Structure 1
Amino acid sequence: MQTKSVRFAFLKDGIYYFTRRVPSDLRTHYGTDRISFSLRTKSAREAEARGLVHAIKLDEFWFKLRMNGGQVPGSHRLLDDEERTRKPSPTVLEAKDLYLRLKGVGRPKTFHMGADRAVEYLVAASGNKALLAYTKSDATAFRDALYARKLSTSSVERVMTTIKAIVAFVMSESGITAPNPFAGVYLNRQEKAEDRKPIPLPVIRVVQAKCREIDDDLRWLIALISDTGLRLSEAVGLAVSDVQLNSSIPHLVVQPHAWRSLKTTASERLVPLTGEALWAAERIIEANSSGWAFPRYNRSERTNANSASAALNKWLGSYVPEKCVVHSFRHSLRDRLRAVECPSDVVDAIGGWTTIGEGQGYGQGYPLAVKLKWLQMI
């Protein structure tokens, strides 16, 4: 007969046996609805202690069963595969439009162009699918397709990061809890990026002499960049009013315009005009009758720096070493300033590079006279 005084036990032929009913939600894990076995004792006190130990162990085991394969918190709200397939989700093109509409407010054109380009690459590789239709294999195939385009690892990483951000943002906005297939895709970050070569100073002098000899707007542009280190887009997008020749220190005002934004906030700066850059600025003012320093590349709403790059690099190819391009003048300027031991934060101020450090955001920065001193030394 079943004992009333000992928990989790009953007495049979003078021996106590453990007994516990299997919970109904875990019944599929067992071949019976009740667990029972001998506690190997005739003592009620020992049977009580041993039964309690077994009951506690069972409760812990059943809890793990429920967490791993049984009932988990919120499991009734999970979608099965069929429900997920039926649940509508935006296509990647729709996702991009939503992403730019919400996240692109006040962002530069490059932000929009980067999203457009990344999604264009994805659609070309895997098609314009609904977000839930993309798989991890689609993501890795997309990565391989980017490498097949001869993009560097840094460029592949930039594109993949953009796609991952678009998908994550729109999934969150749409209430979709599925994993992001573009997260955690392996990239070979050990691959060394190809160095951009600076142009040797003797070659710069030869190019500058040729610029004076030909004396047209393309050569003025090269001469201007060669002794200021401006980015090509910064120089091409200058307004005539940005060229300040009547100042006590002739200089350029590098600032954002409606037709040309700047890369970073540090890009906004004043750059003294010396050497061939001063000559080029004087020629620009003498010959210009429009509001732009280089009107041929500003005939639409946006500065066409790509067209300028193609024209300048084609001409430079006959004078500069292999792998050197118009952007190499910017690398050369940094080396030239290093050669005269110019402080790195002054170099950054001249070239519009971001200087690391909390204190760099305080004050007005270096005055023109300090920048001029170092530029005159090179």
Structure 2
Amino acid sequence: MHRYQKPWRGAWYYVRRVPTAFAHLDKRNPVRVSANIAVADDPEGWRAARVIDRLDKETEAYWRGLLEGHAVEAQRRYDAARTRARALGFDYMPAMELAAKPIGDLLDRAEVLRPRDAAGSGPEIAAVLGGEDRPDFRLSTLFGEYERLSRASLKEKSEDQLRKWRNPKKRAVANLMTVIGDKRLSEITRNDALDFQAWWQDRIVGEGREIETANKDIGHINRMLRTLERWHRLGLPPVFSELRIEGGRVAQRQAYDAGYVRDRLFAPGALDGLNEEARAVIWLVAETGLRLSEACNLTSETIHLDEPVPYVAVRPDGRQMKTDQSAREIPLLGGALAAAKRFPEGFPRYRHRADALSALVNKYLDTAGLRPSKGHTLYSLRHTFEDRLTAVGAPEKVMAALMGHKYIRPKYGAGPSLELKAEWVGRIVYQVPHDTAS
């Protein structure tokens, strides 16, 4: 049975007390909702338990909605008061803070209201005399407000990029709530932050979790709190600053040895267990150094086969570019050219689904014994491409232009031509029959 499941008047009911965090918004106490299933028809309560589980989720969503709506309205009133206060020549201060100022400051503010005939205006009185409290967000609303404040920087991200941006931050908030509950942001203390750090230390030692995973959580929370503090002047102390756990390191992806790729990965039949689109993308990454997301999102408009030098153009196309240098043209030779000819309109199966392709290919390579170490992944082929260019002495400017990296010296001219890039890529192309990609 569900923990909030109770028999009442011959039927099964959902019965739950309103949590303290929502009690000021929901005056029902307890919440009591019928599952519309008689106890006589379901004496063990199994059917009713499923209904009550749904009712519980709906009720919690309702409470969160109340809290978020309340916070948004409080924020709207507070922002309006700040704007009015500035228009009248004052910095906005909540009444409690204003009360601690010298009496002259209060008299100056009161004096401003009289000649403007503002004495009867509730909003102007609130603005000048601090009638609106600073909004007091809860931890459960932290990410939503952070996302709202970040909306300008997110507008060019694709849905997949947004998912990757959102998930680690939402996970960090959920982890913190596991440790300290759904506190108001103003109530979070340095001790809470230290408890969170200790919680992660226990997981690192006891569960083998990565130190960098913990540091990312701490960093996300710190950044979100700083952003809300900067925008809303909440008076939040930097309780999550300088809490990184020492000893962490970012795992470095291994590069495949070029000979291993030629003799093992691209051996006849080695990739036959993968579908054609997956095999073609592997060839593209290996022969062009494309990022996996760049390869997966090519289209008929970015694959140019009827040119003196066939090439692909990396463009935003509904996504935010990783760097300003990511937009570039890369020549198609060898297996990459064969792959593009086989799929001249791109790879619809994996468009905006690079993660799914990566998981599929890495699992296949693992099963087929084609990963010399756990550090070798599909993405390693991009690093191998760069190593191969280095081995033949390609100029740094050409390598940067092919890889989409920033060139460290001042930029002059238009950069390496497509023909020049093709000349250097031609020196490292795998000598493997082109029909292997098809």
Which TM-score applies when normalising by structure 1?
A: 0.67
Q: What is the CA–CA distance in structure 1 between the aligned matches of 2:148 and 2:135, rounded to whole Å?
A: 20
Matched, 1:282 2:341: yes
1:352 matched residue in structure 2: 404
Residue 140 (str. 1) matches residue 199 (str. 2): no
Unaligned stretches of 5+ residues in structure 2: 1-97, 103-132, 429-438
Q: CA deviation at 1:101?
A: 1.8
3-state SS in 2 of match to 1:128: coil
Partner residue of 1:369?
A: 419
Q: Which residue of 2 aligns with 1:131?
A: 185
How far apart in 2 are the matches of 1:75 and 1:102?
31
Deviation string 1:176-231 (CA, Å, 9 cap, x unpaired) is: 2231211221331x444333111111221132244797371111111111111111
Deviation at 1:348, TM superposition (A): 1.5
Equivalent of residue 249 in structure 1, options 304, 309, 332 = 309
Q: Distance in 1 between matches of 2:377 and 2:341?
A: 25
Listed as ranges, the matches of 1:105-120 within 5 Å are: 105-107=152-154, 108-109=156-157, 110=161, 113-120=164-171
Picking from 259, 266, 278, the partner of 1:208 is 266
Q: Matches of 2:167 and 2:99 in 1, distance apart?
A: 38
Greater C-alpha radius of gyration: 1
Q: Which amino acid in 2 is paired with 1:197?
A: Q
Query: Structure 2 CA distance, aligned partners of 1:120 and 1:276?
Result: 40
CA distance in 2, matches of 1:334, 1:151: 31
Structure 1 counterpart of 2:144? 97
Deviation of the 1:274 alpha carbon: 1.3
* Residue type at the aligned position of 1:98: E
How many residues align? The count is 284
Matched with 2:331 is 272
- For 1:123, what is the secondary structure of its paired residue? helix
Q: Does 1:226 align with 2:286?
A: yes
1:168 matched residue in structure 2: 226
Residue 296 of structure 1 aligns to which amino acid in structure 2? Answer: R
Identity rate of aligned residues, in percent? 28
CA shift in 2, pair 1:130/1:309, >3 Å: same
In 1, Cα distance between equivalents of 2:301 and 2:199: 45
Amino acid paired to 1:201: A
Deviations 1:339-375 (A, max 9, x none): 0111223212101122334x13x53222111111111
Q: For residues 372 and 274 of structure 1, what CA distance do their matches in structure 2 show?
A: 8
- 1:297 counterpart residue number: 350
Letter matched to residue 131 of structure 1: L
Describe the shift of the 1:356–1:111 C-alpha distance in structure 2 as closer, same or farther (beyond 3 A): farther
Aligned pairs (5 A) from 1:34-49: none
Kept after mapping to 1: 8 A contact 2:285/2:382: yes
User: How has the CA–CA distance of structure 1 residues 267 and 210 changed in structure 2, closer, same or farther, with 3 Å as cutoff?
Assistant: farther
CA shift in 2, pair 1:133/1:213, >3 Å: closer
Deviation at 1:111, TM superposition (A): 6.4
Does the Cα contact within 8 Å between 2:329 and 2:418 map onto a contact in 1?
yes
1:236 Cα deviation (Å)?
A: 0.8
Q: Distance in 1 between matches of 2:418 and 2:213?
A: 36
1:154 shift after superposition: 4.8
Aligned partner letter, 2:341: E
Checking the alignment, whether the CA contact within 8 Å between 1:226 and 1:330 is kept in structure 2 is yes
Q: Residue in 1 aligned with 2:245?
A: 187
Instruction: Quote the offset at 1:77 in angstroms.
Output: 5.1
For residues 242-266 of structure 1, what are the alpha-carbon distances to aligned partners after superposition, in whole Å with 9 as ceiling and x for unaligned?
11111111111111112x4331121
1:313 and 2:373 correspond: no
Q: Which amino acid aligns with 1:346?
A: V
Once the 2 structures are TM-superposed, how far is the Cα of residue 173 of structure 1 from its aligned partner?
2.8
Give unmatched runs, 5+ long, in structure 1.
1-73, 79-85, 286-291
Q: 1 CA distance for matches of 2:197 and 2:169?
A: 11
For residue 157 of structure 1, report the CA deviation from its aligned partner: 4.0
RMSD of equivalent CA atoms: 2.8
Cα distance, 1:276–1:76 mapped onto 2, change above 3 Å: same
Q: Name the TM-score, length of structure 2 as normaliser.
A: 0.59
**Which stretch shifts more, 341-350 or 103-112?**
103-112
The amino acid that maps onto 2:361 is L
Taking the aligned partners of 1:283 and 1:90, their CA distance within structure 2 comes to 54
Give the drift of 1:132. 1.4
